[in-house]
Structure 1
Amino acid sequence: MNQETGMTEQALTRVALYTFAQHTNRRVAEFRWQPGQAVSLTILDPEWGALAQDFYDNGVPVGAERVPPEAGPDFMRALLQRFRMSYYKFVDESG
């Protein structure tokens, strides 16, 4: 087991969804995860946060599969894959 890898690879604990519609950079939802806990979702804008709710309810599409929020860190990583979306972007805010 390589402990060094675990130390250098930071866990994703917070991923935010932003919309760029209407020429604004607006935060519309936030996913949070901590080891030993379930992923949580906070919707900040019900209209523009619907995409985040869909991913939380149905999983994040990855190829022909969907990664559910129960997958914890895998779900958080799946949010950061490149999506072909004009008005949205997921951002790692784990800091």
Structure 2
Amino acid sequence: MNEEVPTRVVLYSALSGSGRPVAEFIWNPEAGVSLHVIDPQIGSLAQDFYDQGVPLDRECRSVGRDESETFMRTLLEPRQMTYYLFVDESDRDSTTMDD
């Protein structure tokens, strides 16, 4: 694959009526994928994906976080979820901006 790898994917929940972040996945080449769960009860889906892999339906398998680049892309694959949404919130300009 030649597309950019998402470096930050946020899981939003609409269970409480309004979309709010419940977890975020962070990727960098040195450390791999990490997970920060904001709401442990509602963010359990993120923890399950982190621990057990993300379903990749077109290949009939789950992608583990050890396949970090594919894992991050797979989080953004369209899936049938009513109350959850994964959003790419990567800062694509961070390499060109001065801190």
Q: Which TM-score applies when normalising by structure 1? A: 0.87
Q: Give secondary structure in 1 for the equivalent of 2:85.
A: strand
Q: Which runs of 4+ in 1 moved over 4 A?
A: none
Structure 2 unaligned runs (5+)? 92-99
The correspondence of residues 1-95 of structure 1 with structure 2, limited to 5 A, is 9-63=3-57, 64-95=60-91
Identity %: 49
Q: Give the structure with the larger helix fraction.
A: 1
| Pairs aligned (count) | 89
When structure 1 is superposed on structure 2, of 45-54 and 18-27 the one drifting more is 18-27
Quote the offset at 1:48 in angstroms: 0.7
1:38 positional shift: 1.9
What secondary structure does 1:33 align onto? strand
TM-score of the superposed pair, with normalisation by structure 2: 0.84
